[in-house]
Amino acid sequence: MTTTAAEHPATTDDIDVPRGPERWSGTSVASQIAVLSAKSLRRLVTDPKLLLFSVLQPLILLLLFGQIFNSISDTPDFPKGVSYIDFLVPAIMVNTALQSALMSGTGLNEEIKNGMVARFRTLPIWLGSVLFARSVFDLARGAIRLTLMVALAAALFGFSPDGGPLGVLGAFGLALAIGWGLGWVFLALAVWLRNGESMQAVGFLAMLPLMFASNAFVPVDGLPGWLGAVAKVNPMTYGVQAARDLALGNPAGYDALLAVGISFAIGALAIPLAVRGFRRPA
């Protein structure tokens, strides 16, 4: 005897129940940072002018200060047996890293201004990954700047410190560590100020005393009394001294640990401030 559908009603197992679209959970934070960093790094290949102009500044400093202060190497307070160019280049390395840190903030301000950040806000990503990607990009750009600067200093100015390649590599790594840590300070300032002109003004006010009220160009003992006192509490003095000792083959343990420790501590405090400020509506 034939059965009907009414006698055997369909169960849920027999019916294809339509399902809604599966929700995309997005990529991991590490993948987001990697993709955004690669996107920024491609700019250095497609627009090499960005790198060219950023290398010119440390070279101009080497040329000008190498000539202006060259006679300081004959004074009693200057380290014996050290040429002024070998004394100067490690300081320019640290200064270049600090300039790269400032460029982190100004570059982020530019992305906020041209609407790039607004487009990032529409994507299913953690907004903090944009800041970390910016930090990775500026770290890589700083490494390229330092590499080119050191190579040109050796070729054009005779830079050849007693520490040899390993000493220069140590100073190189120290400068990058300082620049990366302090770069977060400028990123935090950029997201809270959100104004390129204000950012430039703050950066100028910060960089000028850090650079000149230190041992970057003249030994601390050769500075006037009051300026020498300022230099002794200036964190850049310890960074420059550590980079200089590494390049010259001298022990640099205490100064290196102090410089890197202070930079990383400041960076650790600035990271949550930067992320919090970046999440604010424009």
pLDDT digits (tens, 9 = 90+) for 128-141: 898 999 999 889 88
Q: Is the pLDDT of residue 222 over 80?
A: yes
Contact of 96 with 176, CB cutoff 8 Å: no
pLDDT tens-place string over residues 77-113: 888 889 999 999 999 999 988 888 888 888 888 888 8
Output b/e per residue, 131-161; b: 16+ Cβ within 10 A.
bbbbbbbbbbbbbebbebbbeebeeebebeb
Mean pLDDT of 247-253: 89
Q: Is the pLDDT of residue 248 over 60?
A: yes
What percent of the chain has pLDDT above 70? Answer: 89
Mean pLDDT of 193-208: 80
What per-residue confidence (pLDDT) applies to 26? 60
Give the Cβ contact number of residue 3 at 10 Å: 7
Rounded Cα distance between 226 and 230, Å, is 6
250 conformational bin, left if phi > 0, alpha if psi -120 to 50, beta if neither: beta
DSSP 83-112: -HHHHHHHHHHHHHHHHHHHHHHHHHHHHH
Q: What 8-state DSSP symbol labels residue 250?
A: -
Mean pLDDT of 116-144: 86
Q: Is the pLDDT of residue 231 over 80?
A: yes
Rounded Cα distance between 181 and 44, Å, is 22
What per-residue confidence (pLDDT) applies to 176? 94
pLDDT tens-place string over residues 20-50: 444 545 678 888 888 888 888 887 777 777 7
Contact of 119 with 153, CB cutoff 8 Å: no
Angle between helical axes of 128-157 and 164-193 (0-180°, round to 10): 140
What per-residue confidence (pLDDT) applies to 4? 52
**Backbone angles phi and psi of 17, in degrees to 5:** -80, 120
